[in-house]
Amino acid sequence: MLARRITSILPNLSFEEALEITKIHSVAGKLRNNTVVNGRPFRSPHHTISMAGLIGGGSFPKPR
């Protein structure tokens, strides 16, 4: 619960940070409405995830 709230405690994104996050979302195919992402991303992995599963990889790694 604390990890989910940490994004609201951090300062607002600078334009450069927002642009970088938007680029990553665009490459991953998760960009909506072709607008700049203004919020900090948060992912909530399952508590039993392995280190390899958290980092990702495989034969053809791609951002998700």
The answer to whether residue 25 is domain-embedded is: yes
Split into its structural domains, the chain has a count of 1
Q: What digits encode the pLDDT tens for the residues 19-45?
A: 999 998 898 888 888 889 888 888 888
Amino acid symbol at 43: R
Residue whose C-alpha is closest to residue 28's, from 7, 56, 59:
56
| Sequence-separated contacts (24+) of 7-14 with Cβ below 8 Å | 7/39, 7/40, 7/42, 10/40, 13/38, 13/39, 13/40
The answer to whether residue 59 is domain-embedded is: no
Structure tokens at 39: 């919020």
Q: Taking the model in full, what pTM does it have?
A: 0.66
CB-based contact 31:22 (threshold 8 Å)? yes
The answer to whether residue 45 is domain-embedded is: no
The answer to whether residue 58 is domain-embedded is: no
> How confident is the model at residue 14, as a pLDDT?
94
The answer to whether residue 19 is domain-embedded is: yes
The answer to whether residue 52 is domain-embedded is: no
Range of the domain at 13: 9-39
The answer to whether residue 22 is domain-embedded is: yes
